[in-house]
Amino acid sequence: MEIVSYVLAGELAHKDSLGNGGPNGQPGVIRPGDVQRMSAGRGVTHSEFNHAANATTHFLQIWIQPTERGIAPGYEQKHFDEADKRGRLRLIASPDGRDGSVTIHADAAIYSGLFDADERTERALDPARKAYVHVVRGKARVNGQALGAGDALKIEGEPTLTIEEADNAEILLFDLASH
C-alpha cells in the first residue's frame, strides 16, 4: 500500500524499520501542513502515535493501492504552507512528484485546499477518471452540493470541479484512475 498521512491538528510521531523517524531512533514528527508518504512495498514495520501527551492529534491516513506490487519500501515527508493552499487546490501527492509533491506509486493525485468566504476555484477534470472530494473541516459547496466536515462527493464523468461558498473549509481532492 501507499500510505499518506495528513495531520490536521496536534503532532503525529512516526518511526519505522527503514530507519526513518529521526536521529538515533527518535520518532519523527508530522505536524499540520506536513504530508508523509510511506510505501509499504515488500514490507515495513512502523508505529505512529500522538507525539504530545497533553494534546489531541487529529489526522487522516489514506491508503492507496499501488500500481506495482513488490516495490522497495520507502518514506517521504514534505511541508506545504497554508499560503500555498489558500483559495486553490495545491498538489501534495502524485506519481511523479511534480510541483514539489510527495511521490506515490499509484495512478492517483491528491490536492489540498483552504477556502473561506468569497474564495472560489474551478478545476478541469478528466471525465475518463474519477474524482473524490473530502471536506476535512468547515463547509463548502462542491459542484452545487452543500458539504460539511466529514462529507465527501464522488464525481464521475464531469468535466469540471467547482468549490465555492466556503466557510473555513479544508478540502482534499483525489484524482483517481477509473478502474
Return the higher-pLDDT residue of 1 and 158.
158
Q: Return the amino acid letter for 167.
A: D
- Say what the pLDDT of residue 14 is: 64
| Position 16 confidence tier, pLDDT thresholds 50, 70, 90 | low
- Say what the pLDDT of residue 83 is: 96
Q: What is the mean pLDDT of the chain?
A: 87
Mean pLDDT of 8-35: 71
The separation between CA 53 and the C-alpha centre of its own chain, rounded to angstroms, equals 25
User: Residue 103 belongs to what domain range?
Assistant: 82-176
Q: What is the pLDDT of residues 69-128, one digit of tens each?
A: 887 777 788 999 999 999 999 999 999 999 999 999 999 999 999 999 999 999 999 999
Q: Strand ranges (DSSP E) for the chain?
A: 2-9, 12-16, 28-30, 34-39, 46-50, 58-64, 74-79, 89-94, 102-103, 108-117, 121-124, 130-142, 145-148, 152-156, 160-176
Both 32 and 46 in one domain: the answer is yes
Q: Return the amino acid letter for 125.
A: L
Q: Tell whether the model's pLDDT for residue 41 goes beyond 90.
A: no
Instruction: Please report, for the domain that includes residue 171, its CATH number.
Output: 2.60.120.10
HSE, CB side, 13 Å, CA atoms: give it for residue 85: 22
Q: How far apart are CA 54 and CA 162, in angstroms?
A: 39
pTM higher than 0.95: no
Q: Considering only CA atoms, which of 73, 82, 46, 81 is closest in space to residue 61?
A: 46
Both 172 and 123 in one domain: the answer is yes
